[in-house]
Structure 1
Amino acid sequence: MTQYFSNKVIIITGAGSGMGRAYALAFAKLGTKLGLNDFNLAGLDETIQLIKDQTPSCHMVSQAFDVSDQNKMQTFANLCQQKLGNAFVVINNAGVEGAHMPAWQMDLSNYEHVMKINFFGVVSGTRAFLPQLLSEHTGHIVNVSSIFGLAGTPNHSDYCASKFAVRGYSEALMCELQNSGVQVHLLHPGGIDTNIAKSTGGQAFSKHYLKTSPEEITEYLIKHIEKGSTRIVYGNDSMKIWLGSKFVPLKILNKLIWSDMKKVIDQKPYNLIKLKKGMFK
């Protein structure tokens, strides 16, 4: 077992389920102190109980709130610092699914909601905890994008926009912090078997693509944080998308992605497509 994280403070947002819960359980076993967040209090409490059952000695602080609320995030950061000490790893993991429909059917509110959590939640977490990392001249920020932050996909323009935004923000942050001692890691999960796809439109997608366990990507992430990897790509179909985004011409890549994903997409909006003035709400 690695001693790199022993007695260090690990902050995880979206820890109430899925990857966030798997990260929390794994880091607890490494002898860390945990600051945990989730919007869902019941899910967060369940994660805390699991940690208590498996690692009774783990020292934890937790709060349930919306990660896009900068004031609440700053309050959380202050509490974690007071109770646990300065953060060593910050994993901005909290996220929500998109609306699972073509761009011309989406309301502007769909984009606003997804960007608020998936992108501004990352910005909020980074801004609140970065001063702690900089004061120690060491540490790690892990910002969770997606393979949908590497390539655009049909029925996911809202989600892709948020994950591309996380990618751009994180890559800029890497440049800015390269001489600070603080490392930025950009995680692009592939199809991870979590409960993120709650809507009816996401069920076919979830069943077909979300196959890698949260525990598997957690093990991979922990290893690559310690190694200092900047871009971390892992999970079902992740390598295929990453290589395609790097080496396949975009026009061809679009056709390949459509061919692969059309089987899990409602075709009716595409059969009736009529791009004309006023179709965007």
Structure 2
Amino acid sequence: MSESLAGKIVFITGAASGIGKATALKLAKLGANLILTDVVEIEYEVAFPESAQQSDLSPIITAELDVSNEAQCQLVVKEVVQYYGRIDHVFNCAGINPTAYSILELPDGYFDKLWSVNVKGTYNVTKAALPHMKEHAGCSFVNVSSIMGQRPAARVAAYCATKYAVMGFSKSMALELGPKGIRVNIVAPGFIDTPTNNSVVAGPDAVKESEASVSLGRMGTAEEVADVVAFLMSKEARYMNGSEVSINGGLKY
């Protein structure tokens, strides 16, 4: 896997923390050249202190990017291509995690905000990057959905809608881009211990409840998702296209 990713140009959204950050570190260690974007400024030395002890990590570019803004997506991708000449892989990781609301309690603008980032953001980055990805050269997209894009849950209807949409959009992408040799796969994380996970935000009792629903008896780590993302980008996954990979530790219910 390391050889197939060395020197590849990988564009990552939502890279400042959580799964995006863990994936960035994984791919950097595998020799990829990274473009790390997030809606907040990424102070590389602060966000990635591990790099201070690893001078062999591959080059990394950071940029602020609001994926819901199509013009920004086009501009950042244009700057990347001017520097590198191409994009090999895209990890559409930027997203807003759920907050529990009944359907009649959704705050004004909440549904639109989730849709604009989780779904339209994936589309905007895809649209901007695709013209710069070479056909039949091992290029790929990995898009982030969720267990809530596979199974419904009460009080998170808006979030479920966006993650089901990412599933459908990604699988349609796979059918359209497959003949060009560009693969599209989806990761569906379950309960992952990240700063924005709703159980983590809610506190220890909620974490215990989440852990009780997992057969492995614990929440997953961002690094465990990153390992799967790196695999999906590698040549070892060259016949995976349109696949949804569940990363949930074995949910009981």
TM-score normalised by length of structure 2: 0.85
Aligned 8 A contact 1:67 1:121 in 2: yes
How many Å separate the matches in 2 of 1:177 and 1:106? 36
* The structure with more radius of gyration: 1
Aligned 8 A contact 2:147 2:248 in 1: no
How many Å separate the matches in 2 of 1:195 and 1:65? 20
How many Å separate the matches in 2 of 1:7 and 1:200? 36
Change (3 A) 1:197 1:190: closer
TM-fit CA distance, 1:64 = 1.1
How many Å separate the matches in 1 of 2:87 and 2:43? 23
Aligned 8 A contact 2:42 2:62 in 1: no
Q: Which moved more, 1:27-36 or 1:213-222?
A: 213-222
Partner of 1:271: none
1:84 aligns with 2:96: no
Instruction: Provide the identity percentage.
Output: 27
Aligned partner letter, 2:65? F
How many Å separate the matches in 1 of 2:42 and 2:208? 25
SS in 2 for 1:3: helix
SS in 1 for 2:4: coil
TM-fit CA distance, 1:225 = 3.0
Aligned partner letter, 2:128? A
How many residues are aligned here? 241
How many Å separate the matches in 2 of 1:178 and 1:5? 20
Partner of 1:133: 133
Q: Which moved more, 1:128-137 or 1:91-100?
A: 128-137
Aligned partner letter, 2:162? S
| Matches for 1:1-281 after TM superposition, within 5 Å | 2-42=2-42, 46-134=46-134, 137-197=137-197, 202-203=202-203, 205-206=206-207, 208-209=209-210, 211-226=219-234, 227-228=237-238, 229=240, 230-237=242-249, 239-240=250-251
Please give the root-mean-square deviation of Cα atoms over the aligned residues, in Å.
2.4
TM-fit CA distance, 1:83 = 1.7
SS in 2 for 1:41: coil
Q: Deviations over 1:195-214 (max 9, x none)?
A: 12369984454554371011
How many Å separate the matches in 1 of 2:19 and 2:34? 15
TM-fit CA distance, 1:221 = 2.4
Q: Which moved more, 1:155-164 or 1:99-108?
A: 99-108
Change (3 A) 1:69 1:50: farther
Aligned partner letter, 1:165? A
Q: Which moved more, 1:177-186 or 1:56-65?
A: 56-65
Change (3 A) 1:235 1:135: closer
Q: Deviations over 1:73-126 (max 9, x none)?
A: 111111111222311110000111233111121134110111111111111111
Change (3 A) 1:224 1:191: same
Aligned 8 A contact 1:18 1:194 in 2: yes
Aligned 8 A contact 2:114 2:158 in 1: yes
Change (3 A) 1:112 1:178: same
Q: Which moved more, 1:30-39 or 1:128-137?
A: 128-137
SS in 2 for 1:63: strand
Aligned partner letter, 2:102? P
Q: Which moved more, 1:4-13 or 1:91-100?
A: 91-100
Is the helix fraction higher in 1 or 2? Answer: 1
Change (3 A) 1:4 1:76: same
Aligned 8 A contact 1:15 1:47 in 2: no
* Structure 1 residue ranges without an equivalent (≥5): 242-256, 258-281
Change (3 A) 1:199 1:108: farther
* Structure 2 residue ranges without an equivalent (≥5): 212-218
Q: Which moved more, 1:92-101 or 1:41-50?
A: 41-50
